[in-house]
């Protein structure tokens, strides 16, 4: 009986690893909101266009998250993509670290940071296996990321582990009954 339990555990681990690799592959082939971009990928105008679109589409976000309110704090963004939100935190004075499963996203985030003349530590990393010490960050931010992970509980556990006691976690997941989902169905625009 014990050997079948071990085999099931290995099968579950292999399945999660395959799912993680599928997610990584998906985001290495796609850039969030790329279909709205008119400017060449990786140019200053490209990043500006994506940022303008993001904060028009999510106009509530700066009212909910004070991007300038974290000056001097150590802030981690899990799933930073091309660094649109993270750059806002950096411009507001936070000491930022951004991780993403997709190397393409991190490469583009580095270009975005260079164009904006902000500093940050940007790394390819799996949010389920954060390579940081316990209690490393004052703030952990993950906007629209948890639904793309193979193991949500594992990622939340990692976020909690690296967050300092009394720190702040800012996490957002999309709701299937959201206005964004409704509008996508109404206008026939696909969501990822």
Identify the three-state secondary structure at position 130.
coil
Give me the pLDDT at residue 160, please.
Answer: 97
Q: What integer pLDDT is reported at residue 3 of this predicted model?
A: 46
Question: Average per-residue pLDDT in the chain?
Answer: 87
150 CB-contact burial (10 Å; exposed 0-12 / middle 13-18 / buried 19+): middle
pTM reported for the whole predicted model: 0.83
Give CA–CA dist 78/75, Å, rounded: 10
Lowest mean pLDDT among 5-9, 34-38, 136-140: 5-9
Cβ neighbours of residue 78 closer than 8 Å, sequence gap 6 or more: 99, 127, 130, 140, 141, 142, 145, 155, 159
Helix (H, G, I), strand (E, B) or coil at 40: coil
CB 53 within 8 A of CB 74: no
Residue 89 has pLDDT above 90, yes or no: yes
């Amino acid at each position: 009986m014990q050997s079948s339990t071990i085999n099931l555990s290995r099968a579950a681990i292999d399945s999660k690893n395959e799912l993680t690799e599928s997610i990584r592959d998906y985001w290495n082939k796609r850039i969030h909101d790329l279909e709205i971009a008119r400017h060449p990928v990786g140019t200053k105008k490209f990043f500006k266009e994506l940022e303008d679109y993001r904060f028009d589409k999510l106009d509530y976000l700066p009212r909910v998250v004070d991007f300038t309110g974290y000056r001097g704090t150590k802030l981690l963004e899990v799933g930073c993509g091309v660094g649109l939100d993270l750059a806002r935190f950096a411009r507001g004075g936070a000491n930022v670290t951004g991780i993403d499963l997709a190397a393409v996203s991190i490469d583009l985030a580095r270009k975005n940071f260079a164009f904006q003349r902000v500093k940050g530590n940007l790394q390819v990393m799996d949010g389920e296996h954060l390579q940081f010490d316990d209690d490393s960050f004052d703030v952990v931010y993950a906007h629209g990321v948890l639904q793309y992970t193979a193991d949500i509980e594992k990622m939340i556990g990692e976020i909690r582990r690296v967050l300092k006691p009394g720190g702040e976690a800012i996490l957002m997941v999309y709701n299937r009954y959201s206005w964004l989902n409704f509008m996508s169905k109404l206008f026939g625009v696909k969501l990822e």
